[in-house]
Amino acid sequence: MHVVGQTRSFLFVLGSARRGGNTETLARQAAASLPGEVGQRWLHLDDLPLPHFDDHRHRGDGTYAAPEGHERTLLEATLAASDIVIVSPLYWYNVSATTKLYLDFWTGWMRVPGLDFKARMGGKTLWAVTTFSDGDPAMVEPMEGTLRWTAHYLSMCWGGGLVGDANRPGDVLQDSAALRRAGGFFAGSTRHGAG
């Protein structure tokens, strides 16, 4: 649940290989219902490319250096937000490769001395917006599970997933049920962790 007294600020992390695609369109429909005083920041991961993630938790002292460049931009934006929205189409039943890489870097951020990343993520809310074209909503369950358990591990709240049915560009605008859900998506109650 949102921390009382904290100003809400949404970070939308765009992980699609296509700009302005169905998933981003659906996310912007949902964001349009946020009150004007709620901050919004939209970052496309293609504009902030990250290098290969080197998992060296078990080498040396296991710590990571303070992030620089695009990594630092993403870290600071992540910590500044009260709500983080993963905006990724369904790719092979999960988030896109760039989105997964962004989440991999959270592993390193938890091990930067003095950053206290895990503790500072606690109480924030993690959301998902996605589109898929299979017709069976069960196909989205692995992606939502990934993000729900990520929230649980970091003592974040899981806001839920907004799912649209779309294949070709613009198709999501024909999914009237998804557009209705988008209108009140961020007003819904949040559930702590994986529960």
Listed in sequence order, the DSSP H helices in the chain are: 22-31, 69-80, 97-109, 117-121, 141-153, 176-184
- Can you read off the two tokens belonging to residue 53? 């993630």
Let me know if residue 162 belongs to a domain.
Answer: yes
pLDDT score, position 17: 86
Let me know if residue 7 belongs to a domain.
Answer: no
Let me know if residue 166 belongs to a domain.
Answer: yes
Let me know if residue 29 belongs to a domain.
Answer: yes
Q: At 127, phi and psi to the nearest 5?
A: -125, 165
Strand 191-192 to 157-165 pairing: antiparallel
**pTM of the entire structure?**
0.92
CATH number, position 59: 3.40.50.360
Let me know if residue 144 belongs to a domain.
Answer: no
Q: Which domain holds residue 113?
A: 14-135+149-192
Place of tokens 């729900």: 148
Let me know if residue 3 belongs to a domain.
Answer: no
Let me know if residue 116 belongs to a domain.
Answer: yes
Q: Which residues touch 105 (CB under 8 Å, ≥6 apart)? A: 50, 53, 67, 71, 74, 75
State how many domains the chain has. 1
Let me know if residue 2 belongs to a domain.
Answer: no
Listed in sequence order, the DSSP H helices in 2-68 are: 22-31
pLDDT in tens, the chain (195 residues): 444 456 899 999 999 988 989 999 999 999 999 999 999 999 999 999 999 999 887 788 889 999 999 999 999 999 999 999 999 999 999 999 999 999 999 999 999 999 999 999 999 999 999 999 877 889 999 999 999 999 999 999 999 999 999 988 899 999 999 999 999 999 864 444 444
pLDDT score, position 58: 79
Distance of CA 9 to the CA centre of its chain: 13
